[in-house]
Chain A
Amino acid sequence: MAHAIWSGAINFGLVTIPVKLQTAIRTNDLRFNFLHKTDEGRINNVRRCSLDGEEVTYDDIVRGYEYEKGRYVILSDDDLKSVNPEATQSVDIVQFVDLAEINPMYFDKPYYLEPDKRGRHAYALLREALKTSGKVGIAKVVIRSREHLAALKPNGDALVLELMHFADEIVDQSTLEFPAQETPLENEMKMAMMLIDTMAAAFDPEQFRDEYRDQVLAMIEARAAGQVIEAAPAKAPRRDNVVNLMDVLQKSLEASKKDRSGGSRTSAKAEAEADEKPKKTAKRKSSAA
C-alpha cells in the first residue's frame, strides 16, 4: 500500500473524520541521468560562486531574495521556519460552495483522502451529503510545510482533496487579447455545431496514451537488449594489438624457459653486464616521477 503523506483528519464544525492523505497522481515522466558522453560517468552538479569562481558547499549557501536589481534580502532557514504554518495534518473546511461556481482553472493537483477505520461511517456520510448537495468543501490544508487552498470533492467512492491556486496565481484574461462576445451568424453557427457533432464522443481517457513516452521506452528496451555486451565494463573491446602482444609474450616466455633449462641462470654476482642496445638517453631523466 502506498505510503501516506500524512495521517490526520477532516474537520468541519464539531465533526472530525480521521483520514490519510494519499497521492492520487503518479508522475510518469521518464527520468534520464546526465552522463559524460565519452565515458558514461554521471554528471555532478557543482555550485559555483559567480564572484570568486569557487565551488560552494551547502553549508555556505543562504537564500537571498532579489528585491531590486542586484540587491538581496537574506532569509535563513530559521526565518522561513518561523513563517511556516504548523503541520496541523488536518483538512479544515471553512465553507461549502457549489462546484459549478468554481472556475476549473483554479484546480491544480488532486490527492485522495483515505478514511481511517474509525472514520469510515462519517466519511461515507460526508461524501453522500456532498453528492446530494452538489457542493464541495473549501478547505485549508498543510502539505510539506506549505499551506494550500483546496476543494474537498466527492469522486466515486472517494473523497478527493484537490489543491487549488490562489486567485493571484491565475493570469488575468484582460492582460491578453481575446475577442469580445459576439452573436454569430446563424449559418456559421449551424456548421460549427455540425462539425462538433460529427466528432462528438464519450470521453474515454484510456484511449489516449503518452505516445512519446511509449516510443522512447521501446527505444530504451531495444538498446538495452542489443547493447548489453558492449555496455558491460568488464569486457574490453577486442584490440588486435593486445592480442598480438599476448602471442609475442607467450613465445618470449617459452623461449626464455628453453634458455633457462639449457644454460645457466643469470649470474648471482654483483657484476652484471648490460645487454641493452646503445641508447641516447644520456642526460635525460630516466626515473618514474
Chain B
Amino acid sequence: MARTTETIEVGGRPLSLSNRDKVLWPQDGYTKGDLVAYYLAAASVLLPEVRDRPLTLQRYPDGIDGPSFFEKNAPKHLPDWIPTVTVKSEFGRSDTVRFILCNDEATLAYVANLAAIVLHVWTSRAASLDNPDFLFFDLDPGEGCTLATLARVAVALRDTLGEIGLVPVVKSSGGSGLHVAVPLAPQYTYDFCKGFGELVARTLQGRLPSLTTLQRMPAKRPPGTVYLDYVQIGKGKTLVAPFSVRARAKAPVSMPLGWDEVGAMVRKRAKTTEGEFERFTLKNAPPLLAERAALWGGKSWKQQKLEPALKKAQKAWH
C-alpha cells in the first residue's frame, strides 16, 4: 500500500496524519484512521482523565499482531505546542525522561497517529508528581477464573473499602480484569499509598483466601483466583487510562462501570471474563462515553482522605 499523508485540522492546529488506512486490527479490519476517529470522539471524556499525567505510549506500528514498544520519552520531532514534563530517569542514571502531557485534542490525535493504541498514565499529575491522586487495585483474573469470581472479589473490595469509609470507582481494564480506584486528595506519598493498598489487599485476601491471591509470579498463582495487584502503585508506574483502546481482537476499550453492573456479573455464568468487557469497543463506545464518564469522573470522583480511613481500619480490622 502506498504511504499516504493528509492534513487535518484539530483544535485549530494542522496535523498531518499518515497512512490512515493502515489496518491495525486485522481480524476486525479497524484502521489507524478508526483509532484516530475514536480518540477524537472520546476526547471530551478522556482528556480530563489524562490531563497533566505523564503519558507512556504503547505503539503498534504494524498492528496488534506485530511488535509493540513502550515509549516514555517524547519523540525528537515532537511539535513544540505539545507540553511535556521532564522527570529524572527511574533507572538512576543522570539522564531524564521527557514525557508527553496529553492535554488537548490535537495531542490525542497526534499520539493516535503514532499507532499508540494503548495510553498508559501515571497516577499523579504534573503539579504534584510525588502525590498520586488516586489509589488503585488491578484485579487480574488468573487462569480458570470466572466472571462471577472476578465480580465477587470486586464487590468484596468495594465493601472492604466501604468499611473504612472509602468510596471506590471501577472500570474494565479493557482486557480481562477490573481496575478499582479510590480518588484521593493528592497529599500522600506513593510509599504511603502503596502501603495502604497493601493493607486493603491483605485484608481482602484474608477474607477471600480461595478466590484471591497476592502472588506476583503468574505461574505460582492458584488457578481460578483473582490477583490483587497493589504493587502498581508507585512513582513512574502507570495504569491503562480510562477510555484507552486495547491492542486486542475486537479493539475493546477500558470502560467505567457501575457497581450495580459489577454486582450483576456475580450471577453471570461466563467461564472467562473477557467476553463481558469486549462489549465496549472502539466502534460502539463513542455514543456511550458521556454516560460512562459519569461513573468514573464527575460526581463519582470524590477526592478522599486516608487518615480517617486508616483510623477506622485500626479499629475495624484489628
Contact = CB atoms under 8 A, between A and B. Distances in A.
Contact of B188 (A236, A237, A256): A256
Interface stretch (B14-22, B40-48, B203-211, B296-304): B203-211
Contact of B239 (A250, A281, A287): A287
A276 B189 CA distance: 12
A249 B192 CA distance: 6
Contacts of B27: none
A265 B185 CA distance: 14
Nearest to A285: B70
Contacts of A256: 188-189, 192
A270 interface: yes
Contacts of B1: none
Contacts, number: 136
Given A245-B199, A274-B89, A288 B206 contact: no
Contacts of B144: none
Interface residues of B, number: 64
A105 to B, nearest CB: 46
Contacts of A279: 90-92
Contacts of B90: 274, 276, 278-279, 281
Given A245-B195, A246-B317, A38 B209 contact: yes
B235 interface: yes
B294 interface: no
Given A274-B236, A276-B90, A249 B196 contact: yes
Given A270-B126, A273-B87, A288 B235 contact: no
A237 B138 CA distance: 23
Interface of B is mostly: mixed
Q: Pick from B129, B136, B198, B239 the residue with the most CB of A within 10 Å.
A: B129
Interface string A231-256: 00110111101110110111011001
Contact of B235 (A55, A234, A243, A276): A276
A177 interface: no
Contacts of A200: none
A270 B236 contact: no
B175 A278 contact: no
A275 B238 CA distance: 17
Given A266-B128, A268-B128, A288 B188 contact: no
User: How many residues of A sit at the interface, in one of the four size bands?
Assistant: 35 or more
Contact of B237 (A234, A271, A275, A286): A286
B318 A243 contact: yes
Given A245-B199, A249-B310, A276-B90, A236 B207 contact: yes
Contacts of B118: 287
Interface in A23-43: 36, 38-39
Interface string B65-96: 00000100000000000011111111110000
Nearest to A280: B91
A289 B237 contact: no
B85 A278 contact: no
A107 to B, nearest CB: 45
Contacts of A39: 208-211
B6 interface: no
Contacts of B236: 274, 276, 286
B113 interface: no
A33 B232 CA distance: 40
A288 B310 contact: no
A288 B85 contact: no
Given A286-B237, A287-B239, A242 B91 contact: no
B177 interface: yes
A167 interface: no
Contacts of A249: 192, 195-196, 199, 310
Contacts of B210: 36, 38-39
A196 to B, nearest CB: 59
A32 B210 CA distance: 22
B88 A273 contact: yes
Contacts of A272: 85, 87-88, 126, 129-130
A242 B195 contact: no
Nearest to A40: B210
Contacts of B198: 245
Contacts of A242: 199, 202-203, 206, 317
28 contacts: A38-B209, A39-B208, A39-B210, A234-B163, A243-B317, A246-B199, A246-B314, A248-B195, A249-B196, A252-B189, A253-B307, A256-B189, A256-B192, A260-B187, A266-B130, A266-B131, A270-B83, A270-B85, A270-B86, A272-B126, A274-B235, A286-B56, A286-B237, A288-B179, A288-B229, A288-B239, A288-B240, A289-B140
Given A242-B203, A279-B92, A288-B239, 5 more contacts: A39-B208, A236-B317, A249-B310, A287-B120, A287-B240
Interface of A: 36, 38-39, 55, 233-234, 236-239, 241-243, 245-246, 248-250, 252-253, 256, 260, 265-266, 268, 270-279, 281-282, 285-289
Nearest 8 Cβ contacts at the A-B interface: A278-B92, A38-B210, A288-B138, A272-B129, A287-B120, A288-B239, A274-B88, A287-B238
